[in-house]
């Protein structure tokens, strides 16, 4: 199994935003809903540049693990790109995908 760390440069500092499981072709990011869920859009967001990188790296699915509630949210990268709402709230361009486009299950990160 080949796992690749995905990092984002923020103000000159690198931050790990998730991991790609190349065997499963899935990007997984662990988040805390209270800090990272956009309530007004009712959506999870991912940095727009990161999403483009994921496509180049062959990722097909996006998974967000909500560490506070033990829930795994899964959607296709194509769905995220087609249905996502682009916004910049001062942290760079992000794409937000409303909950209605996610499959949700009780789970633990792999």
Sheet of 93-98, strand order: 37-38, 43-47, 93-98, 85-88
What pLDDT sits at residue 27?
Answer: 97
Sheet of 13-21, strand order: 3-10, 13-21, 26-31, 61-66, 71-76, 103-106
For the ranges 25-29, 35-39, 93-97, 104-108, the lowest mean pLDDT is seen at: 104-108
Strand, helix or coil for residue 48: helix
Q: Which residue has the higher pLDDT, 110 or 30?
A: 30
Q: State the first-to-last Cα distance of the chain, in angstroms, to the nearest integer.
A: 12
Q: pLDDT, tens digit, for every residue of 36-88?
A: 899 999 999 999 999 999 999 999 999 999 999 999 999 999 999 999 999 99
Strand-pairing partners, residue 45, are 96
Q: Which residues contact 106 (CB under 8 A, 6 or more apart)?
A: 70, 71, 72
Q: For residue 108, is pLDDT > 60?
A: no
Q: For residue 92, is pLDDT > 90?
A: no
The neighbour count for residue 94, using CB atoms within 10 Å, is 21
Strand, helix or coil for residue 78: helix
pTM: 0.88
Q: pLDDT, tens digit, for every residue of 9-18?
A: 877 889 899 9
Q: For residue 97, is pLDDT > 70?
A: yes
Name the strand (E) or helix (H) holding 96. Answer: strand 93-98
């Amino acid at each position: 199994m080949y796992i690749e760390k995905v990092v984002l440069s923020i103000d000159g500092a690198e931050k790990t935003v998730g991991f790609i499981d190349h065997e499963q072709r899935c990007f997984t990011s662990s988040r805390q809903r209270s800090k990272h869920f956009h309530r007004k859009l009712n959506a999870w967001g991912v940095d727009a540049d990161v999403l483009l990188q994921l496509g180049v790296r062959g990722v097909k699915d996006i998974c967000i693990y909500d560490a506070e509630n033990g829930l795994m949210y899964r959607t296709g990268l194509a769905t995220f790109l087609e249905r996502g709402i682009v916004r910049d709230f001062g942290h760079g361009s992000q794409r937000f995908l409303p909950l209605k486009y996610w499959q949700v299950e009780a789970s633990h990160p792999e």
